[in-house]
Amino acid sequence: MQFQLSEEQRAVQEAARDFANRELLPDIIERDRKMQVPLDQLKTMGELGFLGMMVSPDHGGGGMDTLSYVMALEEISKIDASTAVIMSVNNSLVCWGLEHFGNDDQKERYLSKLATGQWIGAFCLSEPEAGSDATSQRTTAIRQGENYILSGTKNWITNGSTSSIHIVIAQTDRDKGHKGINAFLVEADRQGVEIGPKEDKLGIRSSDTHSIIYNNVKVPLSSRIGDDGFGFTFAMKTLAGGRIGIAAQALGIAAGAYELAVAYANEREAFGKPIIKHQAIAFKLAEMATEIDAARQLVYHAARLKDAGKNYDMAGSMAKLYASDVAMKHTVEAVQIHGGYGYVKEYHVERLMRDAKITQIYEGTSEIQRLVIARSILKGHLQDPVFIK
């Protein structure tokens, strides 16, 4: 049984595939080497609607479903995982969180700019001592009249230097624990916001990752998202959807490496025939095809649950856990199939292998995903069947 895709969903998939090959592929090796953010391509993505795919048309978005979004993200990730994570953060974490939990004034001020790519957003949760343990926020926001004074450091922030607006998670009352955490919309040009040096990373090198320091930044009360104490719940609900985006990114990386491996195995000859006809290579490709398709079923299933208004926490964690492991495993195999050519940049698979690793780490490590799944099992939450109508 296969997912039944609408004509619109297939058109979105084809448009993303075409954009990735036409706009992202030509200079991707150079951008990776220079750690260069694809600013021109991001502008085009905004014009094409890829940066606010699920946002309501009332706010300049595409009004699309989650499945269309992950299909587009998969196609972008086959070519350029760096651009894909910029797209994922803007769609899944920033736009989605703002549209679902922001008030009308906040949406009016920021959402259309984000959905159309005029602005890029950043989601600022991780800290030097608060990564997987999101309850241990050291960044503080102290209430002073109609303002908060925001102070602290956020680490590993995607879109750190290209973003115009930050969603910042901060502790406002330590005595209340996770109920004393709030989320704030903070413009990047506010006095006291300092962007740290760009991180020199193993992979996704043309996505800019920075520390961001907040030095007594005055943030108006009107920039708080939700009621007092809603910040931790906001972060967890937003990250649950973000995991589906990263799962789609991991799926795309794996699928891109597989497609390159198949093409190379058909062209490269050894012992008088293409290497795809040697059982050792054919079996590798068979395993890759099987596990990548299994990952796709999990990712699409999580997206469809979200679209159906069902609980998708467990499904999203399963999708991210499995797809990220598949990405890591099979990008390594793609390099192996390419032999020595896989070890040089010209053939792209070495970059995909480097890009794959981060999918097991960010937006909840694989260990955290196992914890989420295990807790769901302990609570008696059984996973819905993979195929839903």
Q: In angstroms, rounded to a whole number, what is the distance separating the alpha carbons of residues 181 and 174?
A: 8
Helices 313-338 + 366-378 axis angle, to 10: 140
Active site residue 267: no
Q: In angstroms, rounded to a whole number, what is the distance separating the alpha carbons of residues 283 and 265?
A: 12
Burial of 187 (0-12, 13-18, 19+ CB in 10 A): middle
Q: In angstroms, rounded to a whole number, what is the distance separating the alpha carbons of residues 319 and 67?
A: 13
Q: In angstroms, rounded to a whole number, what is the distance separating the alpha carbons of residues 161 and 156?
A: 12
Q: In angstroms, rounded to a whole number, what is the distance separating the alpha carbons of residues 57 and 128?
A: 38
The type of residue at 98 is L
Backbone angles phi, psi at 37, to 5 degrees: -70, 135
* Residue of 280, 329, 325 lying closest to 298 (CA atoms): 325
Q: Are 310 and 384 in contact (CB under 8 A)?
A: yes
Those residues whose C-beta lies under 8 Å from the C-beta of residue 191, and which sit 6 or more positions away, are 217, 218
Q: In angstroms, rounded to a whole number, what is the distance separating the alpha carbons of residues 305 and 26?
A: 36
Q: Cα dihedral sign for 302, 303, 309, 312?
A: positive
Task: Please tell me which residue in 194, 259, 363, 367 is annotated as part of the active site.
Answer: 363
Residues catalogued as catalytic: 363
